[in-house]
Amino acid sequence: MRKSNTIVYALLLAAVLLIGRSKASAQSVIPVPLKVEQESGIFHISKTTRLYTNLKGKEKRTLADYLITLPAPFNAGINGKKNARENVIILQKKENAGRRQSAGNIPSSPESYTLEVTPAHILIQADTDAGLFYGLQTLLQLAEPAGEVAWKVQATHVEDAPRFTYRGFMLDVSRHFRSKEFVKKQVDALARYKLNRLHLHLTDGAGWRIEIKKYPRLTDFAAWRPEAVWKKWWFGEDARKYCEQDDPHAQGGFYTQDDIRELVQYAAQRHITIIPEIEMPAHSEEVLAAYPEFSCSGEPYKNADFCVGNERTFTFLEDVLTEVMALFPSEYIHIGGDEAGKAAWKTCPKCQQRIKEEGLKDVNELQSYLIHRVEAFLNAHGRKLLGWDEIMEGGLAPNATVLSWRGEEGGINAVKTGHRAIMAPGSHCYLDGYQDAPYSQPEAIGGYLPLSKVYSYNPVPAALMKDEAGLIYGVQANLWAEYIPTAEQCEYMIYPRLLALAEVAWSDPARKSYPDFRLRALQAVEWLQTQGYHPFDLKNEIGGRPEAAEPVRHLALGKTVKYNAPYNKSYQAQGDKTLTDGIRGDWTYSDGAWQGFISRDRLDVTIDLEAELDIHSVGADFIQVVGPEVFLPAEVIISVSSDGTDFHELTHLTHEVTKAEPITFRNYGWQGIATTARYVRYQARAGKEFGGWIFTDEIIIK
């Protein structure tokens, strides 16, 4: 009897501890604050609790409008008296804000705040209304529901400040259009996690998404297509065609100028700046279908790049940017700049004429001619140019800021030449990659970016000097939407990974710990679910590819590999030692463990075991990711030799390459009764029909 009582108590205690874990506390805030001290006592928020602020004018009205959107009793608004000190939440902008005298020793930032929770009152202090807003966000995360219209908050002292000024998220609304309501919902989440920039990728080949009064065809036509799902539209029978808005099959959409004003205001109320991106000179198929006169060919469906030789192109771009600047008060206007093919410019008489007249060297300088000219236009209107790191090719415009996506190199080069940079390298910041084992996930563009990897990112490369590091303006996560047809899937890709980015962007690296963050992220996922979001359910995470967990031992480990055909330089992994280093690849071919061979080159290697050995198996894994044209091999030949000259074939396998499995892994090998050999030759080639790439990580000989 006594014994079973003990067990019951133990179970009860465990249950209390478990429930306790899932509740809000100072340990649950994302991003983790600079300094948190729990104190004794509890503040009870109820219907009788009042809220007071010394904010005035527009700042006060903005706060009041925001409070209305919160749960009760916060939605009662600003209803407290100036001198109240009991049962009150005070948001106090410091009077001496001009001369900074922050409490404690928190770094100087206009967004810093202190939050003091005592059993009698809650006091949030900051130099700016933005700081007060972030203090309020921390309070909202600390508050635990305690019945209807009632919350309780553990007495706590918080001092907090952001690491970076620019804490961004990019949403691609071209590939699949997302509603105004959807964008607002994400703005709410961004605000909760103290992100402050929403970069909208408004234009691209898949559809133009913003009303421009002067060019109605952009939204009567270039915003619509006869197929909703990007993948079917891009690769389908009647691929990449747009249609009229009133076509019965029309899919897509755009934001009217009123919609944009509403979004900008909604975001501003939450201290988020929306940065519009208008792509140029490339990724502009949709514009050039609607207005072919701005392309080199003059015909629709021929070009993706604007004609830079044509003066009317600049009239168009300036007209569009003029309307865009009138809608978005942002410091930055993003002008794209990435992935220009530039091929048509090489033979276009107008482009060649421009190159000659301007004394440009080549088409790269023609691209930078356009960027410089557009920058001068933006600067003349009091705005700054932001662009993808290609804007540096051919010479960076003088005041431009670089958004570094092809790794960190663009950002590093930018700060070394005195420009600001924002880091968003594909390796850590591209949320369109798989967040868990691909077989368990909806089809993604490829790659593998688990929560832990986003979290591990440090936007300040170690190689930078202090003044250069100071030019790293911030960090941004990007969500490209080619493979994301629905709103639910979009949220699934965003959360919880964006929370990891938020902590990268806001928190002091010394305060970061992945195991601790993961516990907080599990709670945040539950909270997001209760609020109607569709996050990836982190508690079901499978994790990395089991093979990649630890090095594999086998007969060829560390042995010399002779390449009878070259591996591709872009995917060389660890070079000549890759295939016998014992390191297995993870869920993505770009992780430095998988080596790539383009179809015309094939994989053909000979491994020297340095002595005649008994062999009973030879095999290699291949990865297939259909999106980026990485396929399983069509043919594999394995042969052995004692002298390196005369080879004896052990097996010759063929396989019909199909696109049926978007992402898969398969081993191709031989097993048999032992054979004796010193040299093992492994050949594999891609299929003829699709070409593309083959990738393997290790040739395992036993």
* Residues in touch with ligand ACM (CB under 6 A): 338-339, 388, 405
User: What token pair was written down for 476?
Assistant: 């941004």
Closest alpha carbon to 328 in 375, 273, 373? 273
Active-site positions read 204, 283, 339
Is the Cβ of residue 396 or residue 680 nearer to ligand ACM in the bound state? 396
Q: Per-residue b/e over 77-105, b at no fewer than 16 CB within 10 Å?
A: ebebeeeeeebbbbbbbbeeeeeeebeee
| AA letter at 661 | E
134 and 113 Cβ atoms separated by less than 8 Å: yes
Minimum CB–partner distance for residue 462 and ligand ACM (Å): 24
Instruction: Give SS3 for 255.
Output: strand
List residues bridging with 615 in a β-sheet: 675
User: What token pair was written down for 151?
Assistant: 């919350």
Query: Between helices 257-269 and 180-192, what is the axis angle to 10°?
Result: 20
User: What's the CA gap between 636 and 620, in Å, rounded?
Assistant: 10
Distances (CA, A) of 108 to 167, 459, 466, 658: 17, 20, 17, 57
Minimum CB–partner distance for residue 433 and ligand ACM (Å): 12
Minimum CB–partner distance for residue 313 and ligand ACM (Å): 21
Is the Cβ of residue 90 or residue 385 nearer to ligand ACM in the bound state? 385
Is the Cβ of residue 275 or residue 637 nearer to ligand ACM in the bound state? 275
Q: At 665, give phi and psi (nearest 5°).
A: -130, 140
Is the Cβ of residue 476 or residue 523 nearer to ligand ACM in the bound state? 476
Minimum CB–partner distance for residue 405 and ligand ACM (Å): 4
Is the Cβ of residue 393 or residue 604 nearer to ligand ACM in the bound state? 393
The residue at minimum Cβ distance from ligand ACM is 338
Query: What sign has the CA pseudo-torsion 310, 316, 319, 325?
Result: negative
Q: How remote is the C-alpha of 99 from its chain's centroid?
A: 37
Minimum CB–partner distance for residue 372 and ligand ACM (Å): 20
Minimum CB–partner distance for residue 389 and ligand ACM (Å): 8
Task: Transcribe 636-674 into DSSP letters.
Answer: EEEEEESSSSS-EEEEEEE----SSSSEEEEEEEEEEEE
Task: Show the CA angle centred on residue 48, arms to residues 45 and 51, nearest 5°.
Answer: 70
Is the Cβ of residue 138 or residue 476 nearer to ligand ACM in the bound state? 476
Task: Transcribe 57-86 into DSSP letters.
Answer: HHHHHHHHHHHTTSPTTGGG-S---TT--S
Minimum CB–partner distance for residue 481 and ligand ACM (Å): 12
Is the Cβ of residue 338 or residue 608 nearer to ligand ACM in the bound state? 338
Closest alpha carbon to 109 in 139, 131, 133, 89? 131
